[in-house]
Amino acid sequence: MSFEATLWLFCAGLGASAAGGMLGMASGLFIVPILTMFFHIDMHAAIGASIVSVIACSCGGAAAFLRGGLTNVRLAVVLETGTTLGALTGVLLAGVVPVAALNFLFAGVLLVSAWQMFIRREDPAGMSRPIPSQGLAAVLDLHSSYPDKTLGRDIPYEVRRVPAGLALMVVAGLVSALLGIGSGILKIPAMDNALRLPIKVSTATSNFMIGVTAAASAGAYFLRGEIVSAVAGPVALGSVIGAIVGARVLMKVRGERLRVLFLWMLLLVACQMVMQGFGIDLREHAGS
């Protein structure tokens, strides 16, 4: 592969990871469509490269959230059992699912993500309630608190409906392994709606988990020859740098305009993936 192509892959990984980091998601959400649409890389090879970039993205961004006291590590370990099970199941299905079906599934996940971003609620930081002493979350000691710089104090929160959260984590891991997008796109809504975590805690904990989920499926993709080092290497390197930049921006900036921008980006990419699923290539029509 030429130096110019390698440089462009590095830039794609950096930009996609920074964009995903600002939204609390992994770079895989943007990497797969970028590699397939602009670099004409096979869907399965793009997913393999994306999984490697997701691992790099998690390693690059998790440290900032851990230092900020936002990550609930104990909860992440519990939920990771579900996502790992789902990821291993997805690996077994990935080799037999047609590329067109992956395109449609990817488009569906993008639309779900866009909807969740549209209705995403703000943290009721000033409305703390007593922490319950019963339930699975209490037995596992999952309740915690996070520092709120605006209020200048720690905000306690409770973890609810752990079994429902585990079931949703299985689904998130399954989709992650099939599409190589990083399960944060589904973990964040699941933790926000089912477990009722503050959105900052959901984002930080999800970022901590996505690398482990991706690693559970990366080995199988490597053995099948679907991780091409010439593609995955520069993309992963760019993802590490982009994740650090995105995490810092996320912790400092309240960007509703940025959220709207990426909402439209998700919708546009979803439309493109649907067209690819039907065998319609806009580039061919534009050139004809």
Average pLDDT (145-167) is: 83
The pair of structure tokens assigned to 204 is: 């930080």
Of the chain, the percentage scoring pLDDT greater than 90 comes to 6
Residues forming beta bridges with residue 194, ordered by sequence position: none
In the structure, what pLDDT confidence band is assigned to residue 59 with cuts at 50, 70 and 90? Answer: confident
SS3 212: helix
180 touches 47 (CB < 8 A): yes
The amino acid at residue 46 is: A
The amino acid at residue 197 is: L
Which pairing describes strands 153-157 and 144-148: parallel, antiparallel, or unpaired?
A: antiparallel
**pTM for this prediction:** 0.69
120 to 52, 111, 259: CA distances (angstroms): 28, 14, 10
Q: Is the pLDDT of residue 55 over 60?
A: yes
pLDDT at residue 234, as a whole number:
92
Nearest to residue 263, comparing CAs of 37, 123, 103, 110?
110
pLDDT at residue 288, as a whole number:
44
Query: Which residues fall within 8 angstroms of residue 251, CB to CB, at 6 or more apart?
Result: 64, 65, 68
Q: Which residue has the higher pLDDT, 109 or 281?
A: 109
257 touches 28 (CB < 8 A): no
Of the chain, the percentage scoring pLDDT greater than 70 comes to 78
Query: Which residues fall within 8 angstroms of residue 168, CB to CB, at 6 or more apart?
Result: 82, 186, 187, 190, 194
Burial (CB count within 10 angstroms: exposed 0-12, middle 13-18, buried 19+), residue 51: buried
The amino acid at residue 282 is: L
> How far apart are the C-alpha atoms of 288 and 171, rounded to whole Å?
41
45-54, 59-68, 76-85, 225-234: segment of lowest average pLDDT:
59-68
Q: Is the pLDDT of residue 125 over 50?
A: no
78-92, 198-212, 253-267: segment of lowest average pLDDT:
253-267
In the structure, what pLDDT confidence band is assigned to residue 181 with cuts at 50, 70 and 90? Answer: low
Q: Angle at CA 240, nearest 5°, toward 234 and 242?
A: 95
207 touches 65 (CB < 8 A): yes
